[in-house]
């Protein structure tokens, strides 16, 4: 496993981390399914341990994953091993008592929510606390960042950042000097961060965490045009049949990345993201120890060459926006 410094934080993190959304299990925000299907907590814990054994030390979760269950599983898995891991969590998605979903970035809720996360994670300090995918730039108020600084001074968090929704929020936040890190969707099929965000982050020494680096699993190469997802998997609503066919067609153009090599498409896809010097870490999800070990093997010290990366860009449509209804064709 190779390690990189997370921007100006000084944190030395594994370049392949562990995205912990899926291990939260099925869950809803209001009427919206946000899980990844059924999980087995014991398998999840074995997966977390396998990650640590493989050299992964960065674990990213959120209070909304499984309505807090992902944090609970991480807390249980690393009880007695807290000094060996770097934990990131997020705040901002809230289910109200009446069952409604609310984006809540108020200082009051952030102060309350961090205590809930600390309890579930069985820790006194969260290494990185992130605002979770606001859709309105007004949610990134001076007041909420003042609250984050207050929480940091109290010792409850070490650093704070933003997991952006729209990519364009990232450059704006960097220019405003808000936060230590930016987490963003970045993968071979969604290359919008390359337009401005990554270069600016590198210039300003802001750590970049690449989420959804395997494009919701499509860049594993295991899906075909007949793939369907269960009702309790959020991909069921996000990927209608015509979109699945489109994405599978794009993925099929990447065969050259694994030709005459023993690496998987998933590993090559992670290496594509890591080839950009602004990226500190990729956080693919995993449900099993086997998936964890396959992801970790991408960090072998050999990244895509500049020629390979350029061939990716010329072969595959960019900005396939993992959560949008269609692939953009205007670029």
Question: In CATH, what number is assigned to the domain containing residue 190?
Answer: 3.20.20.100
* pLDDT surpasses 80 at 80: yes
Residue 203: its pLDDT value, please? 97
Rounded average pLDDT over 93-98:
86
Q: pLDDT-based confidence at 322, cuts 50/70/90?
A: very low
Q: Is residue 325 part of a domain?
A: no
Q: Do residues 162 and 181 touch, judged by C-beta distance below 8 A?
A: yes
Residue 324: its pLDDT value, please? 38
Cβ burial, residue 138 (10 Å; 0-12/13-18/19+) = exposed
Q: Is residue 177 part of a domain?
A: yes
Rounded average pLDDT over 127-132:
98
* pLDDT surpasses 80 at 237: no
Domain boundaries, position 61: 3-217+265-303
Residue 87: its pLDDT value, please? 98
Q: Do residues 294 and 21 touch, judged by C-beta distance below 8 A?
A: no
Token representation of residue 41:
């907590």
Structural domain total, the chain? 1
Distance, in Å, from the CA atom of 293 to the CA atom of 312, rounded to the nearest integer, reads: 25
Q: Is residue 283 part of a domain?
A: yes
Q: Is residue 260 part of a domain?
A: no
Q: Is residue 122 part of a domain?
A: yes
Q: pLDDT-based confidence at 34, cuts 50/70/90?
A: confident
Q: Is residue 230 part of a domain?
A: no
Residue 319: its pLDDT value, please? 57
Write the DSSP assignment of 179-203 as a string of letters: -SEEEEE-BTTB-GGGTTHHHHHHH
Helix H segments across the chain? 41-53, 69-77, 107-121, 142-153, 169-176, 197-204, 235-238, 241-251, 265-274, 289-296, 306-315
Residue 40: its pLDDT value, please? 94
Q: What secondary structure letter does DSSP report for 285?
A: B
Q: What secondary structure letter does DSSP report for 130?
A: E
* pLDDT surpasses 90 at 75: yes
Q: How far apart are the first and last CA of the chain?
A: 35
Q: Do residues 171 and 243 touch, judged by C-beta distance below 8 A?
A: no
Q: Do residues 140 and 103 touch, judged by C-beta distance below 8 A?
A: no
Distance, in Å, from the CA atom of 293 to the CA atom of 301, rounded to the nearest integer, reads: 16
3 catalytic per annotation: no
List the catalytic residue out of 3, 65, 160, 272.
Answer: 65
Cβ atoms within 10 Å, residue 309:
16
* pLDDT surpasses 80 at 232: no
Residue 33: its pLDDT value, please? 77
Q: Is residue 205 part of a domain?
A: yes
The rounded mean pLDDT for the chain is 91
Residue 16: its pLDDT value, please? 98
Q: Is residue 58 part of a domain?
A: yes
* pLDDT surpasses 60 at 131: yes
Token representation of residue 120:
């579930």
Residue 55: its pLDDT value, please? 98
Residue 28: its pLDDT value, please? 79
Tens digit of pLDDT for each residue in 198-222? 999 999 999 999 999 999 889 998 8
């Amino acid at each position: 496993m190779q390690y990189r410094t997370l921007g100006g934080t000084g944190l030395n993190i594994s370049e392949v981390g562990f995205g912990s959304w899926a291990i939260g299990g099925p869950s809803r925000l209001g009427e919206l399914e946000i899980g990844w299907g059924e999980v087995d907590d014991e398998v999840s814990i074995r997966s977390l341990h396998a990650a640590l054994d493989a050299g992964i030390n960065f674990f990213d979760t959120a209070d909304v994953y499984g309505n807090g269950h992902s944090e609970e599983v991480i807390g249980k898995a690393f009880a007695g091993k807290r000094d060996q891991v770097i934990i990131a969590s997020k705040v901002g998605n809230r289910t109200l008592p009446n069952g409604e979903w609310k984006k809540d970035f108020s200082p009051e809720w952030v102060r309350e929510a961090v205590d809930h996360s600390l309890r579930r994670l069985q820790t006194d300090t969260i290494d990185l606390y992130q605002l979770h995918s606001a859709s309105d730039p007004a949610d990134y108020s001076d007041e909420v960042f003042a609250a984050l600084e207050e929480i940091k001074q109290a010792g409850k968090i070490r650093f704070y950042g933003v997991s952006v929704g729209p990519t364009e929020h990232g450059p704006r936040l960097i220019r405003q000097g808000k936060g230590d890190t930016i987490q963003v969707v970045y993968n071979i099929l969604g290359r919008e961060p390359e337009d401005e965000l990554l270069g600016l982050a590198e210039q300003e020494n802001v750590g970049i965490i690449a989420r959804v680096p395997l494009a919701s699993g499509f860049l594993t190469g295991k899906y075909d045009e007949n793939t369907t997802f269960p009702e309790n998997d959020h991909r069921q609503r996000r990927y209608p049949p015509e979109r699945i066919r489109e994405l599978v067609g794009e993925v099929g153009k990447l065969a050259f990345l694994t030709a005459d090599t023993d690496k998987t498409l998933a590993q090559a896809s992670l290496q594509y993201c890591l080839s950009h010097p602004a990226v500190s870490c990729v956080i693919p999800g995993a449900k099993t120890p086997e998936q964890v070990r396959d992801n970790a093997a991408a960090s072998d010290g050999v990244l895509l060459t500049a020629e390979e990366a350029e061939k990716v860009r010329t072969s595959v449509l960019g900005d396939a926006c993992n959560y949008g209804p269609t692939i953009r064709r205007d670029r």
